[in-house]
Structure formats: C-alpha cells, structure tokens
Amino acid sequence: KNEKKNKIRQRLLKIRAKKVIVATGSLERPLIFDNNDRPGIMLSSAVKKYSDYYGVACGKKNIFFTNNDTAYESAISLYNKGISVEAIIDIRESSKSTIVKEAENLGIKIYWSHTVVDTYGYKRLKQISIMGLSKDGQSFSTKKKNILECDCLGIAGGWTPAVHLFTQSGGKLKFRDEDQVFIPSK
C-alpha cells in the first residue's frame, strides 16, 4: 500500500502535430427577404438531403430561390424522384452551366433576374411574391408583384467555408474575391 502513496496517478500529455489537415467543409448561406422565417422555408441543401437520405418530400409544390447553381442540383434531384418543382427564382441574369441547361430541358420554369420579396401563409408557407430586378440589381424593373403558390421554398445563397476550427486555433484568414469568401491563409 505504501508503494502507491508517492506515485503519480494521472498524466497530462500535450501532443503537438507538425501539420494538421482541416477538412470541415462549408455551410450554405440563406437569402434575406420579408418573412423568410415562415415554416416551409429552408436551405436548398436541406430540401435535397431530406429527399435523398430520408425519402421525405418537404413540400408538394416546391420552389427554389438562388443566386448560384446549387439550387438547380436540388431541383433536378427532386424532379427525378417525381416531386413537383414549380419554379426556380434566380437573382442572376443568366447562367450557361450544364446543370442549368439540364433544368431548362426538364421544363422547370426559371425566373431570371427575379427576387423573392415576401411570403404568405398562416402557420406555414402558402405563397411567395416575386419581382423582377433592374439591370444593376439595386431596384425593381416593374412595380408588379408576381404571386406564386408553394408550400416549400428552398433557398441557396452560396457557400461559406467552415473556418471556425482553423481560426480558433490561431489561424489567419484571407479573402478570395472570385467567390467572395474567407479561406485559410495557408
């Protein structure tokens, strides 16, 4: 018994790696508009994940609102499963990517240079209103609101790298202009 009395019972080992690979992925950003927190409004990637992984259709009348190509991937995935995709609202004037052409070929209605301005519905989403954007994107091209029926709105505002662990451990960030994000400087 006396042998154990003066012995160290616990140890704290501090291990430092010379190099660390941080592969934390990225987070989808939302888009902002009036009443964007109504039940039935969710990220485009979440709508896709519910249908792909769990076989759940988030809505019977789905619309996507985007400023990039991600929403088209979600819309095509739903369409191919027989889930209705009413439209895609795209802030951009156009896109020449193959995934956008695929959506057009499937007959999915695309509202180019449009934005969601409001949502309607008691307890859940029933309708959205959209308006056309001016060439500079700073105002509207008309005063007329277009009302669309939907019970699920998938929003895709681009992707932000998940740099939290990197910065928390003292890493510095740099801004990358081409996709408007902060990335690790090393």
Residue 27: other Cβ atoms inside 10 A: 13
Higher pLDDT, 19 or 106: 106
Q: For the segment 49-100, what is each residue's pLDDT rounded down to a tens digit?
A: 999 999 999 999 999 999 999 999 999 999 999 999 999 999 999 999 999 9
Q: For the segment 26-40, what is each residue's pLDDT rounded down to a tens digit?
A: 999 999 999 999 999
Is 158 strand, coil or helix?
Answer: coil
Q: Is the CB of residue 50 less than 8 Å from the CB of residue 56?
A: yes
Supply the DSSP string of 106-152, one letter for each residue: TT-EEEETEEEEEEE-SSS--EEEEEEBPTTSSSBS-SPPEEEE-SE
